Structure 1
């Protein structure tokens, strides 16, 4: 685990990871790392037919996220420059475990283990979670064409998978603080006071004095 601040924001599709990462990176003056989503050429086909296109989709995400994090480690973390990301590569196993058949998942796990062996762990995670209704509303509000065929059942299963994974992550890595944010009760896009509360929690874990949040 790196000593320079490396914050990862995680949670299911539509919960607001990128929006929060942008706002906090601007306030904290941390480098912003955004995941590649819409550039995945298989994603639209994946939402139409998960079984047929899951392996191609997950491999594209894995390779691109590996390259992003490798670059971030060399250019920022190793240079003592703090980073906030709207994902971490561990999310790949959450999605792959849900979508891949057993034989393909076994292959994927082996590739994942090799690629991530030396990847830096975040030293703080902000975990956003919300009900299915909230996720669907936020997905509709942002209006990405590629997400219009997401099935509510898949989204509900994914949210449950995140809960299971994050519970296990906290037990496995008690040294890494996890800030849990309930997206049903907290709307940091619409309400400045909600954003400020999150910011105060983050700076408290960073052990640095909080400045006035700049809207």
Structure 2
């Protein structure tokens, strides 16, 4: 295996966790899944974003840091590959969208201190799906507090992710997930597995699904 720490990222409803499960099973890998359900501020945030955005993002950053630090600093002799369904920088990207300018400046100072202690992935898999597909997936998984996310919010998140990846020239397998069905279509998963079997330079490397 050419990549020992793989991160799957994408917008809300892009299919990150599904693909992470499948990759972890295929590679017999350790799996790091975001524990978003443990965040007590999440349902409150969707009801009142202005009031709850800052505690929401602080809670997420603390939990992600603890989880990544614990997992990545504990060696497992039987599992040489780790697959995560989030990038630690996700903290900063969502904070940029959700926080006021003053709150974001404070948040970024905290992030910069913590980020230095977190291991970066060898490669990022980014699932890029149109907002219509994201909304369809969100409806299917039926988490009550997600059912009224505006299209504009998803557009903003998408734009923030793609701008960050391009600006920082991150080594990325960029998947057009417009028609993705990783559970039901083996060919879709095989595209990702074949892509992971190659070495890459920095930057984005684009793949579409059959």
Note whether the superposition's TM-score is higher than 0.5: yes
What are the superposed Cα offsets for residues 155-185 of structure 1, whole Å, 9 maximum, x if unpaired?
1211111111111132xx4xxx310111114
Q: CA RMSD in A?
A: 2.0
- The CA distance in 2 between the partners of 1:80 and 1:192, in whole Å, is 24
- The CA distance in 2 between the partners of 1:150 and 1:40, in whole Å, is 18
Taking structure 2 as the reference length, the TM-score comes to: 0.88
- The CA distance in 1 between the partners of 2:122 and 2:156, in whole Å, is 27
Taking structure 1 as the reference length, the TM-score comes to: 0.87
The residue that corresponds to 1:204 in the other structure is 198
- The CA distance in 2 between the partners of 1:151 and 1:27, in whole Å, is 35
User: Per the alignment, in what secondary structure is the counterpart of residue 9 of structure 1?
Assistant: strand
Q: Offset of 1:79 from its aligned partner?
A: 9.7
User: Per the alignment, in what secondary structure is the counterpart of residue 75 of structure 1?
Assistant: coil
The residue that corresponds to 1:213 in the other structure is none
Q: 1:80/1:22 Cα in 2 relative to 1: closer, same or farther (>3 Å)?
A: closer
Unaligned runs of at least 5 residues, structure 1: 207-215
User: Per the alignment, in what secondary structure is the counterpart of residue 126 of structure 2?
Assistant: strand
The residue that corresponds to 1:129 in the other structure is 128
The residue that corresponds to 1:29 in the other structure is 28
The residue that corresponds to 1:188 in the other structure is 182
What are the superposed Cα offsets for residues 56-112 of structure 1, whole Å, 9 maximum, x if unpaired?
100000000000011012113899832100001111111000111111111101111
CA contact (8 A) 1:4 1:81 kept: no
The residue that corresponds to 1:44 in the other structure is 43
